[in-house]
């Protein structure tokens, strides 16, 4: 199947999640400062969001900054925070005009008040939109998300508003940061690495994975469609057998 196939010929995953990896390697290969790799990565975000909107993906989740990324050099972290501010300032109006619904998942600790205010405003501004559901995982960690859910469930059980025997998989899903968003059908990781890196641990139980050597700044519409083509070659069984 060629990457040149028209999107309408493909079985479209409802929810695509992407681990955006390779900005720093892209810059290093070009003898450029790391910050320019992140700038190039932001341009790739715009291309992929536009492509997802155009080809009819309902949900797109992008892993932009993990809770572990605070360990990076403070100057690099500051550059990334600046890019987030710029993305919201420059792109929010266009996304709103395109009927994109924007939400953010992750912790609010360590995030500066001005960025939190921008995230809240972006979410409120686009809350009523009915097009592409774009989720940005920012200051996010899958294990932390599960801990938050368990704590919330424990509080309700302690208060007597939730019976322990009534707690099931659906209950836990309702307390996750992604409550209301379907689990991803397809998870893509760029740059050749083959691991989840603490991303959507609970939600990825039956996702299909596509790992590509393409560095994130070079990931575009064609690469997205190529990943969806690979998804179309998979037979999803949800544990119902190995096909033998």
What gap in Å lies between CA 12 and CA 228, rounded to an integer? 7
Radius of gyration of the chain (CA): 18
H helix and E strand count, the chain: 7, 6
Residue 21 annotated among the catalytic residues of the structure: yes
Tokens 């560095």 map to which residue?
215
Find the catalytic residue in 23, 54, 69, 213.
69
Helix axes 221-232, 34-55, angle to 10 degrees: 60
Tokens 């008040």 map to which residue?
113
Contact 2, 221 (CB under 8 A): no
Find the catalytic residue in 21, 79, 183, 185.
21
Residue 129 annotated among the catalytic residues of the structure: no
What gap in Å lies between CA 38 and CA 72, rounded to an integer? 13
Residue 106, both tokens: 């992750």
Active site residues: 21, 69
């Amino acid at each position: 199947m060629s990457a040149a196939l028209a999107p309408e010929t493909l079985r479209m995953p409802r929810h695509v999640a992407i681990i955006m990896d390779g900005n720093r390697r892209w810059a290093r290969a070009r003898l450029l400062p790391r910050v320019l790799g992140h700038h190039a990565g932001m341009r790739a975000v715009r291309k992929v969001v536009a492509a997802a909107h155009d080809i009819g993906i309902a949900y797109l989740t992008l892993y932009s900054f993990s809770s572990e990324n605070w360990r990076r050099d403070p100057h690099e972290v500051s550059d990334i925070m600046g890019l987030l501010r710029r993305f919201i300032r420059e792109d929010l109006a266009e996304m709103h005009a395109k009927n994109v619904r924007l939400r953010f998942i992750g912790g609010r600790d360590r995030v500066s008040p001005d960025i939190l205010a921008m995230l809240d405003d972006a979410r409120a501004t686009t809350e009523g939109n009915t097009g592409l559901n774009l989720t940005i995982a920012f200051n996010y960690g899958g294990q932390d998300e599960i801990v938050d859910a368990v704590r919330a469930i424990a509080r309700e059980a302690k208060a007597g508003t939730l019976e322990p025997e009534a707690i099931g998989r659906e209950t836990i899903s309702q307390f996750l940061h992604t409550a209301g968003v379907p689990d991803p059908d397809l998870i893509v990781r760029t740059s050749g690495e083959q691991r989840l890196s603490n991303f959507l641990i609970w939600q990825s139980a039956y996702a299909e994975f596509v790992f590509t050597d393409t560095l994130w700044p070079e990931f575009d519409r064609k690469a997205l469609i190529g990943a969806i083509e690979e998804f179309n070659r998979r037979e999803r069984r949800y544990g119902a057998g190995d096909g033998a």
